[in-house]
Chains A and B, each alone.
Chain A
Amino acid sequence: MDSNKKRDLAASVILIALLFLIITVLEQLLPKTSMIFTVLKKGSIYALVAVSMNLLNGFTGLFSLGQAGFMLLGAYTYGILTIPVSARAAVYQYYNGGIVQFALPVFAAILLAGVVAAFFAYLIGLPVLHLKSDYLAIATLGFAEIIRAIFQWDKIGALTNGSNLLRKFPIFHSTLFPFAVSAVCIGIIVLLINSTYGRAFKAIRDDEVAAEAMGINLAHHKRLAFTISSFFAGISGALLAMFQTTVQASQFKSAMTYEILLIVVIGGVGSITGSCISSFLFVACSEWWLRFLDNSDTFIGSIHLSMLRPGFRKVVFSVVIMAIVLLYQKGIMGDKEFSISKIREKLKKKKAEDE
């Protein structure tokens, strides 16, 4: 057992290091505008928010749909706090340069983005975490929509710039940046899930009544999971703001939450590696691999494919998702994790059977 664990840990470290090396090499070889970088950047950001949602939905059994709201909080916190003072007059042109007249360093702002999201999650959690399953989902979804509406309100425009864009804040240029931040955050979530608190979360998911009877304080642990999950959603919101170079509240619709939920479900509810793999697949499909379906001038030989037109991509995408849900009902990974030692064991077994 223990030697396997150590081997797995070493293998994961080597894999991640290899990934970073490959990205560094790719960045040297390919032009900056290559689609693969877009996919990798957005994929890593979505991986983080999907894992944070999985912590709630998959590991604690709280069906929450507020993720877009917490991302919005993170994105705005980051944007508001990092726009250089010299650029504020231009960004807040309708609000006399806004009320915030300082700029924080990037990492401090990213951390604060998480803290602000977590703070709001704590407050929201006090009343809504008494609700169960679908009711909790509705309450958190409502919260996300309310937050989005409030941030577009022009009365607080001096802070949020109303329904106008926030822009000119520092962004990242290398794909390594979102990768590194996401990797660290996901690493922390994995550590949490494997700790005694993570085990308590799983107990709450499996049987709330038994968990409470065994001395696990439900209210405390649910609030904890909700707050931590939102903290990381806030950080991923900040990363998303950097990726998009602008922030506008209207981007954080409930459709975004559903995209993340889709990633979680396709990857497997209760599987961290599943969420990571499926977020890259999802982003690659929606942004890159299926793009040609939107192009109405596609020819195979001399045959003009007349059914291809803008929007057709979404039709195919829906069919692919339905196929996945039908064929892999528990998602790509189920509730298992990807691990080298398990694959080795399987191969060994197969070898033994063959002989």
Chain B
Amino acid sequence: MSDRVLELKDITLQFGGVVAVNSLSMHVDRGEIVSLIGPNGAGKTTAFNAITGVYVPTNGCILFEGKKIVENYPHGKMKKLYAGSDNGKYTQHIEPTPDAITKLGVARTFQNIRLWKTQSVFDNVLIAKHLRRTSNVFTATFRLNAAEEKKQREETAELLNILGLYSVKDQNCTTLPYGLQRRLEIARALATEPKLLLLDEPAAGMNPQETLELTEFIGKIRDDFKLTVCMIEHHMDLVMNISDRIYVLNFGALIAKGTPEEIQANPTVIAAYLGEDKNA
């Protein structure tokens, strides 16, 4: 069963003369955990930003559950470069804002933790429930949405319970230890009721013990919430343990893809990470 949740077709992101991502094509199937790895500056986070609508790709198209959510093909000078004479193909432009993409069911966490710093743990998750509201500003102000508000609060409490954050729910989020802050970011992303979860270096700054816990945790939420997960990670233990498939980027280009075993044996990947063996 190949039920494509996310598909990237020829995604290119160019900033001036720098090609951050070069013609990246990849796909994530339902229920998979897919990792995106590569050395620093390989364009992994940029690819995430393109998926979530932060950047509009210079070229290419992104499909979510078979539906085009981002599409941009170059015009003017760039068009000749990419399209040649095939002009008719390149007419559509879909450039949604990040909130619209989140509403479709793509949630993300950030490489540098971006919690709402003045808010409590509970409120951080509760605010993320805002996008599934049915109330408008009038009904919300005059408390005509009490039932929905109650439901949101119950769901938030339940979510915090599942993720083991309920005991700290009234604390300010900045007082939490680092690992729990990362976990709270995941909780916040889950509150938006995503189908696809994008994790940007979830294990950054964690010790081996915490990383091990995180491995179990990601597997658990994937099963519990029926998620598809796509993550960027540098901890190879985590990546190799948990991933169904791996994509390797280097200098913006895809250099390898496959199962963890295939990637571990791939000479190009080893060269990219460790440098070429000059004697070979």
Contact = CB atoms under 8 A, between A and B. Distances in A.
Interface stretch (A70-78, A105-113, A175-183, A215-223): A215-223
B137 A210 contact: no
A192 B119 contact: no
Given A206-B118, A209-B114, A216 B137 contact: no
A215 B131 CA distance: 5
B118 A335 contact: yes
A199 B143 contact: no
Interface string A10-32: 00000000000000000000000
Contacts of A217: 97, 99-100
Interface in A169-190: 188
B188 A214 contact: yes
Interface of A: 188, 191-192, 195-197, 199-200, 202-203, 205-207, 209-219, 224, 228, 335
Contacts of B115: 207, 210
B108 A192 contact: no
B114 A192 contact: no
22 contacts: A192-B137, A196-B133, A196-B149, A196-B152, A197-B130, A199-B126, A199-B127, A202-B118, A203-B119, A206-B118, A210-B110, A211-B127, A213-B102, A214-B102, A214-B130, A214-B189, A215-B99, A215-B128, A215-B131, A217-B99, A217-B100, A218-B99
Interface residues of B, number: 38
A308 B93 CA distance: 70
A196 B145 contact: yes
A346 B103 CA distance: 43
B134 to A, nearest CB: 10
Contacts of B149: 195-196
Interface of B: 52, 54, 97-100, 102-103, 107-108, 110, 114-119, 123, 126-131, 133, 135, 137, 140-143, 145, 149, 152, 188-189, 191-192
A200 B141 contact: no
A335 B137 CA distance: 24
B151 to A, nearest CB: 12
Contact of A212 (B98, B126, B127, B145): B98
Most buried by A among B118, B123, B149: B118
A226 to B, nearest CB: 13
Nearest to A191: B141
B97 A207 contact: no
B52 A213 contact: yes
Nearest to A199: B127
Given A196-B133, A210-B116, A218-B99, 20 more contacts: A188-B141, A196-B140, A200-B130, A202-B116, A205-B118, A206-B118, A207-B117, A209-B54, A210-B110, A210-B114, A211-B127, A213-B98, A214-B102, A214-B107, A214-B127, A215-B102, A215-B128, A216-B131, A217-B99, A219-B97
A203 B124 CA distance: 8
B101 to A, nearest CB: 9
